[in-house]
Amino acid sequence: MSKLNFAQCQQFIKQVKQYLPGGVHYNFRYSGKDTIIPFNKGRGSRVWDLDGNEHLDLFCKFGALIVGHYNLEYNARLSDYMEKVLSVDQCDLEPLVCERIVHYVPCAEMVRFCLSGTEAVQNAIRLGRAYAGKPKFVRFRGHYHGNADNIMGGKPQSPDYPTPDFYEGDFLDTEGRAPQIMQEQSFMLPWNNLEALEQLLANYADQIGVIIMEPICINGGGILPKPGYLEGVRRLCDRYHITLIFDEVITGFRTALGGAQSLLGVTPDLTVFGKALAGGALPVSAIVGKKDIMQFYTDQKVIHAGTFNGYPLGLAAVLATIELLENDTDCYQRMGSFLMQIAQSLVDAAQAVDIPMVVQGVPNILIFHSQNSALEYPEGYNDDTKLRDILITRLCKEYGIQFSPISRFYSNLLMEETDVEFFQSRIGEAMADVKKITSLFEPSPVAA
Ligand code: PMP
């Protein structure tokens, strides 16, 4: 297998750069600017670019695409619903969709839909603060909750008063942010550290209305909560009357239909979903939670609004996704097993050329790190590993393997054994290329 040729893609990208800043639809300030590859065909786990090259899509639109490309049942459900009614304020799907979500998700007694994860997070924080009647929220290092001013990047400045502030090299820092917004609204702590939270609450619980976290820290590198940690946070929230929010934008529907909370056994007060909630082709996010909190919307105490909230096609997509996952009874196990085989092949290929490699996370959301042992804390993700991870992601693209940014990879419902074989047929050469580059920076052996 030789490297792919991207002549047409490059031509197209030149054109696109005239219109889209940077030629892309989003940007963060991290050094590994991704190679842009435009695609015009997808089947199952494969996508084809403008040059006709075939790629394995482990990117899955940042983890959203759980149904797979050209999922005929999903597509039919959407087009059938478009035939029924296109765009109205309320359609006939709400009870069906909400009933399924309430059935599966432990904290869900009521549901509100919106569009993006960022938007759902902001609305959940507003609701949680209103319910608790206190103005600030706590978030954690390495957790990502969308690209709003008040919640993106930073690190705690002082252990005594740990409000987030900017630091040199923070790829989530941005110009144009409302000044002091992070410091005024929030505290930031290390995650998986109950003592740090206890200490903060002992001093400032009267200001803190919300604690928000990813229950499994995917954005921080695929780190699981320590035994007893989530239970401890839950207890503290109850003691101090704080609304606990789980951000399940990535884990929702990818770990289980009930989200990570259904597996971890700790129930938050509110949860936000996004990404895979509607299968991955359409934007739908949701805020779900306990009735007495959601009641604040009913009573008009808290505003939640949006033109496209609950749009029919989006709801049809959520329902289709839930039913596809429900009816395919061993899908989580099957998808997870294919992805784990891919992970093992990655580790083997790296080891074959003496590049350190670990894979961590949960079976349908995996993250690789080019280092010898699993990452235990988001803060432990060092620059050398980061650079190698970016290089691996970048070079794999040239052999038709599409990882998601920040070295993640995802499964989908249509994944099959041949996808594992496709990966295995290409990863060896890609890793050999990685080795060629990294060895340029390795100290040469000292002559005896
Ligand atoms: N929360 C988490 C955990 C996320 O990973 C993301 C996006 N990666 C968001 C929120 C924001 O979602 P969106 O990009 O849809 O605004």
Q: Is the pTM of this model over 0.75?
A: yes
- Report the mean per-residue pLDDT for the chain: 96
Task: Looking at the CA of residue 214, tell me the nearest atom of ligand 1.
Answer: 3
- Cβ 249 under 6 angstroms from ligand 1: yes
Annotated catalytic residue within 74, 144, 332, 410: 144
Task: Looking at the CA of residue 274, tell me the nearest atom of ligand 1.
Answer: 15
CA of residue 117 to ligand 1 center, whole Å: 5
Own/partner pairs, 264-267, CB within 8 angstroms, 24+ separation: 264/215, 264/216, 264/225, 264/230, 266/215, 266/230, 266/231, 266/233, 266/234, 267/106, 267/107, 267/234
**DSSP symbols for 302-339:** S----TTTT-HHHHHHHHHHHHHHHHSTTHHHHHHHHH
- At residue 2 the predicted structure's pLDDT band, cuts being 50, 70 and 90, is confident
Average pLDDT over residues 308-332: 98
d(CA 188, CA 190): 7
pLDDT tens figures, 233-276? 999 999 999 999 999 999 999 999 999 999 999 999 999 999 99
pLDDT tens figures, 8-58? 999 999 999 999 998 889 888 765 566 789 999 999 999 999 999 999 999
What is the 3 state secondary structure string of 249-292? CCCECCCECCHHHHHHCCCCCEEEECHHHHCCCCCCEEEEECHH
**DSSP annotation of 222:** S
Annotated catalytic residue within 134, 136, 275, 386: 275
- Cβ 144 under 6 angstroms from ligand 1: yes
Closest CA to 431 of 358, 357, 361, 367: 357
Closest CA to 119 of 334, 273, 14: 273
- Ligand 1: residue whose CA is nearest its atom 12: 117
Q: Is 14 annotated as catalytic?
A: no
First to last CA, the chain: 40
pLDDT tens figures, 69-113? 999 999 999 999 999 999 999 999 999 999 999 999 999 999 999
Q: Give the strand order in the sheet containing 208-213.
A: 110-114, 285-289, 270-273, 243-247, 208-213, 136-140, 186-189
- Please tell me the predicted confidence (pLDDT) of residue 157: 87
CB-based contact 301:130 (threshold 8 Å): yes
Q: Answer yes or no: is pLDDT of 296 > 70.
A: yes
- Cβ 62 under 6 angstroms from ligand 1: yes
Please give the torsion angle defined by the CA atoms of residues 167, 173, 178 and 179, in that order, rounded to the nearest 10 degrees: 10
The pLDDT > 90 percentage for the chain reads 90
Task: Looking at the CA of residue 115, tell me the nearest atom of ligand 1.
Answer: 15
Q: What are the structure tokens assigned to 83, written together? A: 């035939």
d(CA 428, CA 141): 35
Q: Is 61 annotated as catalytic?
A: no
- Please tell me the predicted confidence (pLDDT) of residue 442: 77
- At residue 446 the predicted structure's pLDDT band, cuts being 50, 70 and 90, is low
| Cα angle for residues 136, 141, 142 (degrees, 5° grid) | 130
CB-based contact 271:246 (threshold 8 Å): yes
User: Phi first, then psi: what are they for 365, rounded to 5°?
Assistant: -140, 100
